[in-house]
Structure 1
Amino acid sequence: MILIVDSGSTKSDWIAVDSNGKQLIEKLRTKGLNPEILKEDKLKKIIKKHPDLKAHKLEVTHVFFYGAGCGTDRGKEAVYNVLKGVFINAVIKVEEDTMAAVYGTITHDTEAAVVCILGTGSNCSYFDGKQLHQRVQSLGYILMDDASGNYYGKELIREYYFNQMPEDIKVSFASKYNLEADYIKYNIYKQPNPNAYLANFAEFMFLNKDSQYIVELIKKGIRSFVNNMIMQYKEEIKTVPVHFAGSIAYFAQEEIKAVAQEMGFTVGNFERRPIEGLVAFHIKNL
């Protein structure tokens, strides 16, 4: 049994296949397994809690794990140790989530492209057809992550509290969420996964895209992401497409395409969940 995992900070998608790519059990989902946010014992607890993973752990021969927080040796080592402690008979490979986005969006194995992730967090890299090149080291959700779910969550809460929302949007926002100051501060400063908590607010934007205010808010975040991340590869984007993975990118396709036209780059593929492309890639390269 081969397990392929695409893990963000909010959720992790798991798929189990045989060496021919045949799916063995239904797709699985656990909480996100980000080693920069959760300690190893918590990561292991999340995996062991899932009944299917627990039942089949000794049958697993390979685990290919792609995750947020795995862009450093420390993060990779933490997740490797956790996975090896659960799937004791398996060969374990841990890569950063950007590689999942690469394999999930490129149209052939050696395609060069700039590949972006816009999900709970955000990232951007250049894949030259063989290797991944990253020119900005992520400092996480507080300092970076433009145009991500947690970025938009922060923006919505700030604009609500600074009275910068149109009144109808403000009323609608307040009716959907608990916006009491103490409740927000408790979830951000006292609870685990504050980035995932903030990202939950982003759904509000996509339910209210008939508002020009919301459309401009989405575009503002995308422009910031383009200026700070995509333009790190200003020479590359003259000749290669820019692909996008993640839920925020998937639901903001119109706004991304509009900003791309403004700022002069070519949009390629959108993939909400790259895991299907990962299956094809790994079966081919076993």
Structure 2
Amino acid sequence: MLLIADSGSTKTEWMLLEKGKLVKTIYTDGFNPYYYGENEIARMLNHDLLPHIQGNTISEILYYGSGCSTETNCNIVTNAFQKVFTDIKSTIYHDLLGAAHALLGKEKGIACILGTGSNSCAYDGDAIIENVPSLGFMLADEGSGTYIGKLFLTAYLYDEVPKSVANDFFETYKLTTSEILDILYRKERPGKFLSTLSSFVGKHKDKPFCRQLIATAFDDFIRVQLSKYTDYEKLPIGFTGSVAFHFSDILSERLARHNLTIHKVCATPTKGLVAFHTR
């Protein structure tokens, strides 16, 4: 049996395949090796994944994960897998290559991730050939859930959000300014908190302020990511991730302003990955 995983910073989707057929899907928390060490990842695998796959004879694991863009980070995940699955071959890939496999298959084009974080690459049908650096939520992550949350929270704290939306935000979260700053600067993983705010913004996307805020996030992504790729106007552009999927109408509008269109959009790359590895 083959186990394929697509892991973001928030969630991991595990797909168990037998003879090319999907037999089981398991969801666990995500783990980015920039934030988790191998022992912590191994504990998560033991606790969250192992009970759901015991009794199945797995011959290989293909893992596509956020943060797995460097040899050091890939080794962290590899070592964690070896502690839990001692006799199973595991291969670690960057989630960006997973996005390319799922969105483009063997065709050349540009693959984009707009979820908790953001990333993109130019793909030649086999490998990633160009990649604008992904600088994380502190410096960048344009177009992502975290970026949208950051834009909204900044506007909220500067008292620039319309009263009806601001009042709903306070009623929903009941956070003071000092409590918000405490979450951002004293608590662990503030990016996760920021990313959850994109759902709140999405609830109000019929309001011009929130719709424009989402549009600004996508404009920034187009400016600092897409426009940097060679012949980007001529290549098919695919998007995966919850933000791209749930705000695809606004994304399409912003792309059209640059004479660009969406080749394909999906909430997760899992179906595309299964198709890629079973064709």
Give the TM-score normalised by structure 1: 0.92
Question: 1:3 Cα deviation (Å)?
Answer: 1.1
Question: 1:207 Cα deviation (Å)?
Answer: 1.1
Aligned length: 279
Question: 1:179 Cα deviation (Å)?
Answer: 2.3
1:143-222 map, 5 Å: 143-222=139-218
Which digits, 9 at most, give the CA deviation of each residue in 1:31-68, with x for residues without a partner? 11100111222111111112654652873211111111
Q: Is the 8 A contact 2:117 2:146 kept in 1?
A: yes
Which digits, 9 at most, give the CA deviation of each residue in 1:252-285, with x for residues without a partner? 111111111111223210010111111121223x
C-alpha distance in 2, partners of 1:253/1:105?
15
C-alpha distance in 2, partners of 1:186/1:128?
45
Match among 213, 219, 224 for residue 223 of structure 1: 219
Q: Is the 8 A contact 1:250 1:271 kept in 2?
A: yes
Query: Are residues 1:244 and 2:243 paired?
Result: no
C-alpha distance in 2, partners of 1:46/1:110?
33
2:57 alignment partner in structure 1: 59
C-alpha distance in 1, partners of 2:186/2:265?
35
C-alpha distance in 2, partners of 1:51/1:98?
23
Amino acid at match of 1:163: D
2:276 alignment partner in structure 1: 281
Point out the more displaced range, 172-181 or 74-83. 172-181
Amino acid at match of 1:172: D
Give the percent of matched residue pairs that are identical in Structure 1 and Structure 2: 28
C-alpha distance in 1, partners of 2:242/2:55?
29
Q: Is the 8 A contact 2:157 2:177 kept in 1?
A: no
Query: Are residues 1:22 and 2:3 paired?
Result: no
1:78 alignment partner in structure 2: 76
Amino acid at match of 1:11: K
Match among 29, 32, 39 for residue 31 of structure 1: 29
Q: Structure 2: state its 5+ residue gaps.
A: none
C-alpha distance in 2, partners of 1:102/1:51?
26
Q: 1:96 to 1:53 in 2, by over 3 A?
A: farther
2:5 alignment partner in structure 1: 5
Q: 1:24 to 1:244 in 2, by over 3 A?
A: same
Q: Is the 8 A contact 1:7 1:97 kept in 2?
A: yes
Q: 1:210 to 1:85 in 2, by over 3 A?
A: same
Give the TM-score normalised by structure 2: 0.94
Amino acid at match of 1:223: D
Question: 1:120 Cα deviation (Å)?
Answer: 0.4
Question: 1:95 Cα deviation (Å)?
Answer: 0.8
Q: 1:274 to 1:55 in 2, by over 3 A?
A: closer
Q: 1:57 to 1:85 in 2, by over 3 A?
A: farther
**Segments ≥4 residues shifted beyond 4 Å:** 51-55
C-alpha distance in 2, partners of 1:242/1:211?
28
C-alpha distance in 1, partners of 2:130/2:183?
32
Q: What is the RMSD of the two structures over their aligned residues, measured on CA atoms? A: 1.7
